[in-house]
Amino acid sequence: MLHALPAHVARPAYDRTQLQPGIVHIGPGAFHRAHQAAFIDTLLHDDPRWAITAIALRSRDTTDTLRAQDGLFTLKTLGPASWTRVIGAIRDAFSAQDDPSGTLTALGAPATRLITLTITEKGYCLDGNGQLDLSHPDIVHDIARPDAPRSAIGWLVAGLARRKAAGTPPPVVMSCDNLTDNGSRLREAVVRLARQSDTGLAGWIERHTLFPRTMVDSITPASDPAFLDALESELGTRDDAAVCREVFTSWVIENLDCEPVAALGRAGAVLTSDVRGHALAKLRVLNGAHSALAWMGLALGYQRVSEAIADDWLGASIAEMIGQEILPGLAPVQGLDPDAYAQGVLARFANPAISHKLSQIAWDSSQKLPVRLLGTVADNLQAGRPVVHLARAAAAWMRFVVRAAREGWALTDPLQETLLVAGRDCTGDPAGDTARFLEMEQVFPPGLARNPDFRSALSRGYGDILKLERGLRP
Ligand code: CS2
């Protein structure tokens, strides 16, 4: 494949036959391939010991495609100064369902010094308080069958158990998902599950395994057929594992003293002790605004991020939400100028070269709303700051669900059934409809759901969204 590509396409300059496995990655979706795999590809030019074994937990489509291409895939950036590059970092790829024993072998191998995860918010199986949900069906299964897990948390526990039994030191385990305090959440979830079957193992994990916090950032739309077809014309060959993203990319990692973190620092990740600050700013500003834009943009009939942010009223409203309701609650972060950061985020949303569907951002909204917006709402209510825009965004999510229920579209959301039942109960009355959604404890912490200021802001926001649906601006 490589020698036939046009000259402008960059390709690995290292000898792929010399690669050695060093990383197991769980969840090789588009974001992993566009982000972490590109950093690792850079690292492999200096150190061949960090090749990735990519393991999919659910669908085997991506890993099958990657295997058929010897792990190679194309990364294309979109916008000014864009480039096209073949990434060679994935050395092996398979699905855990097809090869459970290969999965355990990879997780347990002494050469595996780092396990990374991009499994999205729902993959962590957390409850409304951010703890592992012991009643989640996959976790119930994994407690009964720790030797044949289904969840990512279950696989991690099984892999760590194998290492403990063999006297192999634990790897560094790194969440690369948009969760508040992702490293601590993952550590707590793994330890909690391990404790159900083996308290000795739980203690060993707590004492010996590092779970650094991270912040990952690069806008990565799904690879749609239009992108894949255009790339095929550019390359002269079809690549069904290709991914695209904006040029901007950032990986901030807690600077724990260990070999994998130092190696990622050499590959371009920023190592710092204040990942929490960076991650919270990114989650609340970028992801919070992204979700708000998606729900409100869809109410106005837009389909893509760049179109929605170009709407004068909506663009101004998102900027006000960030400036008046999100930035004032963020603690100072070294090396981060909040206003410049916010401006940069809005400029990135406006990139017309990226065809990023609002409906893609709206996937799994029930998991995203709490981590992206409700934490800010709770902080603002406590500090006496406004929640007008934040509540309107939450109301826009409710209306998104109501329209799905009325118009019969499927929701891509782990709470789909509960949401559609609630959506069908709604009558268009702001107070009644918002109260119906506030009953969902998986989404709204009870203390927040009872707060009268939040309830009235939500009702008003809901009324605003009803106007938007009719093409009127509040
Ligand atoms: C987006 C994110 O789909 C979404 O929910 O908000 O994937 C976002 O593009 C990335 O976090 C940017 O780093």
For the segment 149-161, what is each residue's pLDDT rounded down to a tens digit? Answer: 999 999 999 999 9
Q: Tell me the per-residue pLDDT of 2-43, one tens digit each, with 9 for 90 and over.
A: 778 999 999 999 999 999 999 999 999 999 999 999 999 999
The rounded Å distance from CA 220 to ligand 1 centre is 7
Ligand 1 closest atom vs CA 217: 13
Give, as one character, the DSSP assignment of residue 331.
P
- pTM of the full structure: 0.97
The rounded Å distance from CA 177 to ligand 1 centre is 10
Average pLDDT over residues 150-174: 98
Give, as one character, the DSSP assignment of residue 336.
B
Ligand 1 atom 1: residue of nearest CA: 361
The rounded Å distance from CA 303 to ligand 1 centre is 16
Ligand 1 closest atom vs CA 361: 3
Ligand 1 closest atom vs CA 290: 6
* Closest-CA residue to 171 (of 139, 205, 137): 205
The rounded Å distance from CA 161 to ligand 1 centre is 33
Q: Is 79 left (phi over 0), alpha (psi -120 to 50) or beta?
A: left
Residues in contact with ligand 1 by the CB-under-6-Å rule are 178, 217-219, 286-287, 290, 360-361, 368
Per-residue pLDDT at 400 exceeds 80: yes
Please give the pLDDT value at position 3. 76
DSSP state letters, 410-446: PP-STTHHHHHHHHHH--S-HHHHHHHHHT-TTTS-H
Ligand 1 atom 4: residue of nearest CA: 361
Q: Where in the chain is the domain with CATH 1.10.1040.10?
A: 277-469
The rounded Å distance from CA 56 to ligand 1 centre is 20
The rounded Å distance from CA 165 to ligand 1 centre is 39
Ligand 1 closest atom vs CA 360: 3
Ligand 1 atom 6: residue of nearest CA: 287
The rounded Å distance from CA 145 to ligand 1 centre is 34
The rounded Å distance from CA 248 to ligand 1 centre is 13
Fold for 277-469, please state it: N-(1-d-carboxylethyl)-l-norvaline Dehydrogenase; domain 2 (1.10.1040)
Ligand 1 atom 3: residue of nearest CA: 361
Ligand 1 atom 8: residue of nearest CA: 219
The rounded Å distance from CA 102 to ligand 1 centre is 31
Best probe residue, ligand 1, of 214, 220, 246 (max atoms within 8 Å of C-beta): 220
CA dihedral 377, 380, 384, 389 (to 10 degrees): -60
Ligand 1 atom 10: residue of nearest CA: 219
Best probe residue, ligand 1, of 290, 304, 356, 369 (max atoms within 8 Å of C-beta): 290
Q: Is 34 left (phi over 0), alpha (psi -120 to 50) or beta?
A: alpha
Rounded CA separation 26/1 (Å):
26
Average pLDDT over residues 325-339: 95
Q: Tell me the per-residue pLDDT of 211-235, one tens digit each, with 9 for 90 and over.
A: 999 999 999 999 999 999 999 999 9
Ligand 1 atom 9: residue of nearest CA: 219
The number of beta carbons lying within 10 Å of the beta carbon of residue 225 is 7
The rounded Å distance from CA 164 to ligand 1 centre is 36
**Helix (H), strand (E) at residue 32:** helix 30-34
Question: Confidence class of residue 128 from pLDDT cuts 50, 70 and 90?
Answer: confident
* Token pair in block for residue 288: 């919070």
Q: What percentage of the chain exceeds 90 in pLDDT?
A: 97
Average pLDDT over residues 243-248: 98
The CATH H-level superfamily of 2-273 is NAD(P)-binding Rossmann-like Domain (3.40.50.720)
Question: Confidence class of residue 177 from pLDDT cuts 50, 70 and 90?
Answer: very high
Q: How many CA atoms lie within 13 A of 468 on its CB side?
A: 28
Question: Confidence class of residue 66 from pLDDT cuts 50, 70 and 90?
Answer: very high
Question: Confidence class of residue 1 from pLDDT cuts 50, 70 and 90?
Answer: low
Q: How far is CA 155 from CA 55, 63, 167, 292, 353, in A?
A: 11, 18, 18, 34, 38
Ligand 1 closest atom vs CA 178: 11
Please give the pLDDT value at position 2. 74
Ligand 1 atom 13: residue of nearest CA: 217
- Buried/exposed 369-386: b ≥16 CB within 10 Å, e otherwise: bbbbbbbbbbbbbeeebb
Q: Where in the chain is the domain with CATH 3.40.50.720?
A: 2-273
